[in-house]
Amino acid sequence: MTHLEFFTLFGTEQQCKAHWIELRKKQGVICKKCGCQKHYWLSKKEQFQCAKCRFRTTLRSGTIFDSSHLPYRDWYIAMYLMTSSKKGISALELQRQLGRKRYEPVWCLMHKIRDLMAYREDQYKLNGEIEVDEIFIRVANTLEVDEKLQAGKGSQRQATAIIAIESSKENDKGPKGGKRMGYVKVQPIKGHGAIVAKRALEKMTETLRKIVSDKGHEFGTLSTLAEHEAVLSTQENNDEHLPWIGVITANIKRAFLGIYHSIKRENLARYLAEFCYKVNRRKFGMEIFERLLNISVLPKFVVN
C-alpha cells in the first residue's frame, strides 16, 4: 500500500469509521453483561444491542480504542505510519502529522498500539537453532540528585535486554555464514547472570535444537535447554557464529538513538515489541498494517 492508496481508502473520518464498523461486525461483539455473542446493529445509534439482554455496546467499547477521544482517522494514520516507517516514528512527529495540540493522548495511543504488538509477539515462540546475546540499550537517566552514576552493566543509563534469533544454516557459502534469519525476540531483563538469562530464554522459546552464544558466564547454564555452542567471539568470527545478532543489535541501536531520544526504562519492553513486530513481519509488505488493524478489534481483556 502506498501513501496515496492509504489516503484514498482511509483519508476521512467517515471512511475509517465505516471500515471499523465492518471490522467489529466481522469480529463479533461479546455482551459485557451476559456474555451473549449475538448482537443487532442499531445503525441510527451506531451501537450493538445484545439479542438476549438488550445491553448496548458502543463502537469503541471493549477494544483498544476504548476511552480514547481521538478520531478513528488518527488511530488509522498512527497504525499506518508506525507499520510503514522502517525505523519508527516518534510521538512528537506523529503529533505534528496529526495536527494535535496535545502530546499526551498521542503518546498514549502509540503505547496502546505497542501493547497490541507485544500481545501478538508473545504468542510466538522460537524454535530450532538460535543465536543468543545480551545487549545494552541507553535509557533515560533515572539518576537521583545526589546519586552517583555507576559505570558499565549496572549503570542507571543502561538497560539490559536479551536477544534471541532463529538462525539456521542453509548452505556453506552465502552471506552471514550461510545462515538464514527467522523469528527475532528482544526483551528487557532485570538483573544479570546465568539464572536470569536462562529464565528469559525459557519464556521465549519452545522446541530448541541448538543455542549459539558467546562465552560469557551469563550463558553458562544454557546446555540444560539444548545443545549449546559457546564461542569466544571476536570481530572476525562473529559473522560466522552470530551473524544476525550483530545486524539486529545495530538496527535497534540506530533506531532507538535516532528516533526516540530518551526511552524510559519502564517503557523499553514496548519499544522492543514494536521493533520485533516489524522485523518479524518484514516480508509482509503493507499487509502488516491490515493485520494490525484486524487485531485491534480484539477484546481489550485479551490484549491486556
Residues of the shown chain interacting with Zn ion in the complex, contacts defined by CB under 5 A: 31, 33-34, 36, 50, 52-53, 55
| C-alpha dihedral (299, 300, 302, 304), degrees to nearest 10 | 170
Minimum distance of Zn ion from residue 45's CB (angstroms): 16
Asked if 292 contacts 83 with a C-beta cutoff of 8 angstroms, the reply is yes
Give the shortest CB-41-to-Zn ion separation in angstroms: 15
Closer Cβ to Zn ion, 33 or 215, answer by number? 33
Nearest distance in Å: CB 12, Zn ion: 33
CB nearer Zn ion, residue 30 or residue 108: 30
Spatial distance between the Cα atoms of 248 and 236, rounded to a whole number of angstroms: 17
CA gap 189, 149 in Å, rounded: 20
Q: 34 or 143: whose CB is closer to Zn ion?
A: 34
Of 268, 260, 244, the residue nearest 184 (C-alpha): 244
Q: Is 30 helix (H, G, I), strand (E, B) or coil?
A: coil
User: Would you say 18 or 34 has its CB closer to Zn ion?
Assistant: 34
Nearer to Zn ion, 53 or 257 (CB): 53
Alpha-helix runs per DSSP H in 28-131: 72-84, 91-98, 103-122
Write down the least CB distance from residue 256 to Zn ion, Å.
Answer: 45
DSSP for 191-206, written as a single string: S-SHHHHHHHHHHHEE
Name the residue nearer to Zn ion (CB basis): 29 or 91: 29
Using alpha carbons, select from 249, 289, 248, 282 the residue that is nearest to residue 116. Answer: 289
In the three-class reduction of DSSP (H, G, I as helix; E, B as strand; rest coil), residue 136 is classed as strand
Name the minimum Å distance from CB 52 to Zn ion.
5
CB of 17 to Zn ion, least distance (A): 24
Return the C-alpha cell found at 144.
Answer: 537521583
User: Shortest CA distance to 65 belongs to which of 250, 293, 248?
Assistant: 293
